[in-house]
Structure 1
Amino acid sequence: MEYALVLRWLVLYAALFAAGLPLVARLLPGTEGRGAGLSIPAATLVLTVPAYWVGQVTFGLPALLAGVVVLLVASALAAADHDALRAGRLELGIDIPRRALGDAAAVFGLSFAFLVVLRAFDPAVFPIAGEKFLDYGLLKSLQRAPTLPPEDMWFAGEPVKYYYGGHLVTTLFAWLTATPPRFAYNLALAGFYATLVTAAFELAATVGESHGLSRRVSGALAAFFVGIASNLVTAGRLALTLLPSGLQRQVAEMVAARTDYSVTKLLQGVSSFHYWDASRVIPGTINEFPLFAWLNGDLHAHMTATPFLLLAAAIGYAYYRTPEADIRRRRLLLASLPVVAGWQAVNNTWSFPSVIALGTLALIFAPAAPWTLVPGLSGVGDRLAARSRLSEELTRVAAALVVTAAGAVLTILVAAPFFFGTAVSGSERTVELLGPEMRSSFGGLLFVHGAFVVTFGAYLLSRLRVRRPAYLVAGLLAAGYVGLEIGLAAFAVSIPLLVFGWVALRSDRPVGYETVLIIAGAGLVTLVELVYVNEQAGSGRMNTVFKTYMQVWVLWATAMGVAVPGLIRGVPTTAEVTSRVRDAVPSVATDGSGNQSWRRAAAIGFACLLVVSTTVYGVAAVGSHLESGPPGGTTLDATQFVETYHPKQDEAIDWLDEREGTPVILEAPGTKDYAGGVDKREDVMYDWNANPASSLTGLPSVAGWAHEIGYRGNEAYDERVADVDAMYTGNATTRAELFREYDVQYIWVGPSERTRYGDIAFDMRGVSDAHKSGSITVYEVSQKKLPAANASVAP
């Protein structure tokens, strides 16, 4: 394995850690950890946003230098004592405890090493089981791009119409460490994973300390639920095997009717375990969680955006704990959120609304009245809020939405090149209401979210201190019954968490910012049971749930770091929590509810069951993952598989990869649609047969995977495919016209092209052999020597 490269990337992350420390120390002053575990996403954000903007003019060294300079200046300004500077002295203005530094560094190092080992056993960017060809192709395209956005490697001559922020971060890091893309792919995956786990550790530890909980316990639990835990499917399949044989089929039939599993597969138990199965639970959807995603190994947006989602949540927490009188700091914190949201739009467009929503929730639930932020509205807000409790709540929500609207405008400005360029596509997208037949079943939701739902339900109910629990139970049962009758299981799963959390926060119950995270996740789960984005990128609501559930997992897993030890520790008094939040100082939690020892023992037992049941998948999946490595031994080379499994094409891909700039290539399109004949390729999409040359080199191809339909629309893509077919099968005149139109410089002819088109020959002026090896012939096109338009030339 490439240990020197691993060390080089660790040095890079150590530098980012150091540069980000002053930034997060200013964000979370007065906390024990000073936000240390959030320093890497903060530094990455400050580095990347300037590079992104400079990259619109020129991408490469100038963009990288711009990002580095801005990061160093911002870090120096944050680290300096501003009062001393005004007095002409240079002094350090921040103090971060060594223990907090050590904890964050240890969590990052262990997480990074864990993922490096996993990737070393499975480093390949195989086209199957995910979108690694897309991700690696974007990475290679960025390496070649003179400006941003890069040219689309699957739609030559046009800029990419996809969110590419995570790939941009990877490219910048690869340049800073002088790492080739084939290694940077896997090292970046390890870095994003470690950054996410460390951010979850820090945020949960910081919120937990305000409850009087152990920072290390809260942080460790959050790190576990974010980085290791899974849904309950695998544990459920194991439990099924423990039932009496006569009962097994009945239970299996009941589960199969509510999930994407068959009775046969369920009855096979864990003997048929495959890591993939736990991500396909609710029919018609994808239900990923972090461990699955990183085991699968895509360098995908829904993964690379997660650390910045938690950075936004940390900014929300900083606002939440800022006293009302400190208006300047509250405004500065809110002004920083659009920067995160704007970057998140470039990174993962599905996630930037969540960043904005976290700001809205912080405004609503923070003790400080949101209307005090707006000059001239303070008196009006106070008068409206004084009329009644309902009026106060409505005024608070309305004021929060007004401030949010202003933040949304700033978000668009921060990411203007993306919103007005990259995000504008020819694909049709509409927001549709979700019919009952498409909604999740109660069982499906519990398999995916059950560990969180049960924990949060117990946590919130213990804090609400309901006087008549029988009435509450009756109400929950009635709501659940109604929900199941109308096909909306969210009535029994996520909506109660929304209601309980809202009531607890707005009635001075002993809860804190962890409940804001619970509400945020519950809101997302409920939302995707009501509406979905109807698009050409995927059938039904598949993509909507896919991109949303990862955000839910990250928010809820972080909240678990507070909820689980909070259940064990007991309930603090309302007076303690009120003092803690409003005065922004930690308190010592006490068991004000009078819990007996048996309740604590029950809570500990429940916590142990949670950990065990959500670890079963990880043990099985990681164990099977490490059974055998790639041929030749462990490596972080993402493209070594080409030499092993496609040796007759390896040399040609390397030759093409050595071409300078972005010459356009021609290869068979990533679709079986073929108006001129029958495409005999067995598989195309998610298969080696589709566009290996462009995907592994970043060189733009005239028409690539049918993913482009989701970005460009059917008509534009189908036109390209027809032109590609004509260039392979047409006469010399037709070919020459199309070669000129698309500025084709190289033609790739391999097994995929021959299977689609039969015998292929280019016996014409302007086209000559450029490279031959194995089963590949690469032709070079000389635009100047091509036959003139309408010339009479033999085919």
Structure 2
Amino acid sequence: MDWIYQTLQWYFALMCLGVVFFGITKKLFHGFFDQGYAFSKTIGLLFLSYGVFLLSNLHILPFHELTLYLLLACAIGIGYWIQRNQKKEKINWIIFICEEFLFIAALFLWTYVRGQEPSIRGLEKFMDFGFMKSILRTSYFPPLDMWYAKLPINYYYFGHLTGAVQIKLSGIPAEIGYNLILATIFAQSIVSTFSLVTQIVYSYGRKLKNAAFFGLIGTWILNFGGNLHTIYLFTSGYPAEKPIPFWEILSSYNPAKYWYPNATRFIPFTIHEFPSYSYVVADLHGHVFDILFVLVTLALLFILFTKSVRANSPQHTVRAGRDLPLQITLLGFMSAVHYMTNAFDGPIYLLLTSVFLLLIFRFSRMFVIHIGILIGSFILFSLPFSVHFKPFVTAIGVNCSPSFLTDIGKLGPFLFEKGNCQPDELWMLFVLWGFFFISFLLFIWGKAAEKYKEHATDDYIFILFTFGIFLILIPEFFYIKDIYPAHFRANTMFKMGYQAFMMMSIASTYTFFVISRHISPNTLLKKIIWIVPFLFVGVYMFYAAPSYYGNPQKTPQLNGTTWLSIQNTDTQEIIAYLNKHITGQPVILEAQGDSYTDFNHVSAYTGLPTVAGWWVHEWLWRGSADAVGKRIPDVVALYESKDIKQTRKLLKKYDVSYVIVSTLERQKYKELQEAKFTKLGKKIFVSSNGFGALYQTK
């Protein structure tokens, strides 16, 4: 039952973090029914991580446990000062207990599920784990790229930093912490969504119990839901990436023909994921880490907008005027966090915040001032990251450009590429987004039945709907240019759609409240129209999770590296030796491999930079295939060359301290010259099966 003790140890660290930052959170979420308690763990993780990130970037204090404890002490002091200078509010302990129970239940649920197959392997888990391992070895930022020796990570890694912070605070080993981080994101997203949706409904004047019911529905849609692709459960199926209209292949209930990833790759050459899929496949990418921060931003925008719109009395106007610059600065900070966590999200939430400011101030001098505060704070807070980060974006492509534009080729930031034309069929868009489109129409219908009675909460929801639809439509016309030829729209649709899904999950839940609060002859019809697609959306997790994890019958175990004991025992022992005995980040040499393979897992599992790692990934991050391409011949020469002088020169060129020879190296380099490494250094470790060896070259 080790997994239970490990989860409890992890939970205790998170609980303490939330308690320490509750005073600050309470100030930020003033007016929330739970005083922001559901967000306190996220706020604590956010501020603590940024604090150590800033101090380490400025070389004031290292990324170390003592620095984290110092920042926690400061947070306690700030929280105490806030409480002393703030009017005391009555604490409803029942609310806190219920939300904490919801968090614990969700944390243990997903820990149990993930414990059925905890491997940090497959898809891009090596990348995510490698970032965290590199960060954990780092004293001063930016951290080194584990797949490109001598250079820092050129990726948005702030989310991975928050994962590393959790690992340091809890004392849990990283290979276990990886899976607990995923469970934490799942659990914290559930309570945060619950809190936000409950507050939105509660603000309309409903009883808290009724509002909590809608809060549970909202958290189900956002965290367990998918899209209308589950209608293919009632079809004869279709070949992968060649979807057939569902009405042409209808059959009886046929789950054997349903493949859950197809819901995220339905439109050919594109990606349209959502949180529940992310939880299942368990890659800790930036968009997954950013789920929690996005919910914080949406909650802060709700507070900003509804309070500003309601500030009618002179007293409220003065208070809003005094607090507003600080609120905007905080939203600028959050946009910077989004940018550093998942770069696309920075501009998305800068724009969304600007829309709310425009509605509050219209086109006025105050609008210009507060936009300046927003953008200025975004630039300031993201600066420690931006000075080391080179964006991957090279241009803004135009989908299906007419011939007179393709003849021009490029005009300013806009790129007109011949052959890049992927128009989407309406029925496909309906399969992906139909539930949200239906919810939006029902929202308008419900408002019409109320004769468009104005309410700030309704306006907030309307903005979420329209902005979400705007994000969905962008990839129909534009795409961010990257390195992928056939999938040129994939990342744009992926990043835009992910945020649209979150926004409209919240808005669609409110739609159900709208059509329920106004009793009319059409109320039952409206509910049926909403509930039927909701059922298709809501069952997604029941097919995705069992497909990936099987029947949950095994005793969970959380160590994500145990697969090595079956398939790569030699590298498992080498990794254990390096993690135990090697400090800092000296360069290692291991076999270079293609992306999405088992190559380069030693660097990923140790955080030690290797000469060259996954080719396509570094191509994207560095902007050129030559980044790794020019190093590959050197790696081959290091392993296969008989020339001692050449080998010594290359070892010096890349400052290699340790050379790994394992089954993978023996398989890839048929002319391996292992004996030369004893002349260039010394053998310091041999695996128990004799196939793995570690050489120290200096």
Normalised-by-shorter TM-score class: 0.7 to 0.9
> Residue in 1 aligned with 2:654?
742
- Give the letter aligned to residue 746 of structure 1: Y
Task: Give the deviation of 1:51 after TM superposition.
Answer: 0.9
Task: Give the deviation of 1:608 after TM superposition.
Answer: 3.3
Partners of 2:456 and 2:299 lie apart in 1 by: 22
For residues 747 and 65 of structure 1, do their structure 2 counterparts lie closer, same or farther at Cα, with a shift above 3 Å needed? same
> Residue in 2 aligned with 1:452?
436
Determine if contact 2:306/2:456 at 8 Å carries over to the other structure. Answer: no
Deviations along 1:605-642, whole A, 9 cap, x unmatched? 33432342123322222334453569x84201111111
Determine if contact 1:122/1:629 at 8 Å carries over to the other structure. Answer: no
> Residue in 1 aligned with 2:558?
636
Unaligned runs of 5+ in 1: 83-91, 242-247, 371-392, 468-503, 571-590, 672-684, 784-795
Unaligned runs of 5+ in 2: 402-420
- SS of 1:553's partner is helix
Q: Does 1:695 align with 2:604?
A: yes
Paired residues for 1:404-423 under 5 Å? 404-421=371-388, 423=389
Partners of 2:551 and 2:459 lie apart in 1 by: 46
Deviates more, 1:208-217 or 1:449-458: 208-217
For residues 267 and 709 of structure 1, do their structure 2 counterparts lie closer, same or farther at Cα, with a shift above 3 Å needed? farther
Partners of 2:548 and 2:374 lie apart in 1 by: 44
Determine if contact 1:35/1:203 at 8 Å carries over to the other structure. Answer: no
Deviations along 1:439-474, whole A, 9 cap, x unmatched? 33212211111111111111123314599xxxxxxx
- Give the letter aligned to residue 159 of structure 2: G
Q: Does 1:302 align with 2:287?
A: yes
Partners of 1:268 and 1:203 lie apart in 2 by: 36
Deviations along 1:376-396, whole A, 9 cap, x unmatched? xxxxxxxxxxxxxxxxx6x26
Determine if contact 2:570/2:692 at 8 Å carries over to the other structure. Answer: no
> Residue in 2 aligned with 1:716?
627
Partners of 1:729 and 1:29 lie apart in 2 by: 65
Partners of 1:621 and 1:428 lie apart in 2 by: 33
For residues 207 and 628 of structure 1, do their structure 2 counterparts lie closer, same or farther at Cα, with a shift above 3 Å needed? closer
Q: TM-score, normalised by structure 1?
A: 0.77
The equivalent position to 1:514 in structure 2, one of 439, 461, 473, is 461
Q: Does 1:159 align with 2:144?
A: no
Task: Give the deviation of 1:350 after TM superposition.
Answer: 1.5
- SS of 1:121's partner is coil
Determine if contact 1:337/1:359 at 8 Å carries over to the other structure. Answer: yes
For residues 465 and 270 of structure 1, do their structure 2 counterparts lie closer, same or farther at Cα, with a shift above 3 Å needed? same
Partners of 2:250 and 2:154 lie apart in 1 by: 39
Determine if contact 1:431/1:531 at 8 Å carries over to the other structure. Answer: yes
The equivalent position to 1:187 in structure 2, one of 165, 180, 204, is 180
Partners of 2:191 and 2:276 lie apart in 1 by: 14
> Residue in 1 aligned with 2:321?
327
Q: Does 1:534 align with 2:499?
A: no
- Give the letter aligned to residue 81 of structure 1: N
Q: Does 1:140 align with 2:145?
A: no
For residues 203 and 452 of structure 1, do their structure 2 counterparts lie closer, same or farther at Cα, with a shift above 3 Å needed? same
Partners of 1:172 and 1:266 lie apart in 2 by: 50
Partners of 1:704 and 1:267 lie apart in 2 by: 48
- SS of 2:671's partner is coil
- SS of 1:230's partner is coil
Q: Does 1:292 align with 2:252?
A: no
Partners of 1:654 and 1:622 lie apart in 2 by: 31
The equivalent position to 2:670 in structure 1, one of 743, 758, 776, is 758
Deviates more, 1:109-118 or 1:158-167: 109-118
CA RMSD of aligned residues (A): 2.8
- SS of 1:288's partner is coil
Paired residues for 1:395-794 under 5 Å? 395=363, 400=367, 403-421=370-388, 423-424=389-390, 429-435=394-400, 437-464=421-448, 511-536=458-483, 539-570=487-518, 591=519, 595-596=520-521, 599-628=522-551, 633-658=555-580, 659-671=582-594, 685-688=595-598, 690-706=599-615, 707-712=617-622, 713-730=624-641, 731-764=643-676, 765-773=679-687, 774=689, 776-783=691-698
> Residue in 2 aligned with 1:498?
none
Determine if contact 1:45/1:340 at 8 Å carries over to the other structure. Answer: no
Q: Does 1:60 align with 2:59?
A: no
Q: Does 1:229 align with 2:233?
A: no
Partners of 2:529 and 2:393 lie apart in 1 by: 47
Deviations along 1:22-77, whole A, 9 cap, x unmatched? 33332333343323322222222221111111122222135423432343233223
Determine if contact 2:662/2:692 at 8 Å carries over to the other structure. Answer: yes
Q: Does 1:122 align with 2:33?
A: no
Determine if contact 1:52/1:148 at 8 Å carries over to the other structure. Answer: yes
- SS of 2:630's partner is helix
- SS of 1:512's partner is helix
Determine if contact 2:143/2:153 at 8 Å carries over to the other structure. Answer: yes
Deviations along 1:71-121, whole A, 9 cap, x unmatched? 323322332334xxxxxxxxx634332343233223322221221111111
The structure having more radius of gyration, on CA atoms, is 1
Task: Give the deviation of 1:648 after TM superposition.
Answer: 4.2
Task: Give the deviation of 1:742 after TM superposition.
Answer: 0.8
Deviations along 1:243-280, whole A, 9 cap, x unmatched? xxxxx9xxx79x95678x99999999421333322221
Partners of 1:568 and 1:446 lie apart in 2 by: 24
Partners of 2:578 and 2:585 lie apart in 1 by: 11
Deviations along 1:302-326, whole A, 9 cap, x unmatched? 0110111111111111111221612
Deviations along 1:322-373, whole A, 9 cap, x unmatched? 216120122221111111112222211121122222321221334xxx2xxx
Partners of 2:94 and 2:439 lie apart in 1 by: 30
Determine if contact 2:228/2:533 at 8 Å carries over to the other structure. Answer: no
Partners of 2:302 and 2:219 lie apart in 1 by: 18
> Residue in 1 aligned with 2:353?
359
Determine if contact 1:291/1:618 at 8 Å carries over to the other structure. Answer: yes
- Give the letter aligned to residue 530 of structure 1: F
For residues 510 and 106 of structure 1, do their structure 2 counterparts lie closer, same or farther at Cα, with a shift above 3 Å needed? closer
The count of aligned residue pairs is 654
Task: Give the deviation of 1:737 after TM superposition.
Answer: 0.7
For residues 79 and 279 of structure 1, do their structure 2 counterparts lie closer, same or farther at Cα, with a shift above 3 Å needed? same
Task: Give the deviation of 1:782 after TM superposition.
Answer: 3.0
> Residue in 2 aligned with 1:19?
20
Determine if contact 1:207/1:513 at 8 Å carries over to the other structure. Answer: no
For residues 757 and 514 of structure 1, do their structure 2 counterparts lie closer, same or farther at Cα, with a shift above 3 Å needed? same
Partners of 1:176 and 1:607 lie apart in 2 by: 44
- SS of 2:115's partner is helix
Partners of 1:49 and 1:527 lie apart in 2 by: 31
Determine if contact 1:313/1:355 at 8 Å carries over to the other structure. Answer: no
> Residue in 2 aligned with 1:177?
170
Determine if contact 1:125/1:638 at 8 Å carries over to the other structure. Answer: yes
Deviations along 1:288-310, whole A, 9 cap, x unmatched? 11111111011111011011111
Task: Give the deviation of 1:512 after TM superposition.
Answer: 3.3
Determine if contact 2:233/2:257 at 8 Å carries over to the other structure. Answer: no
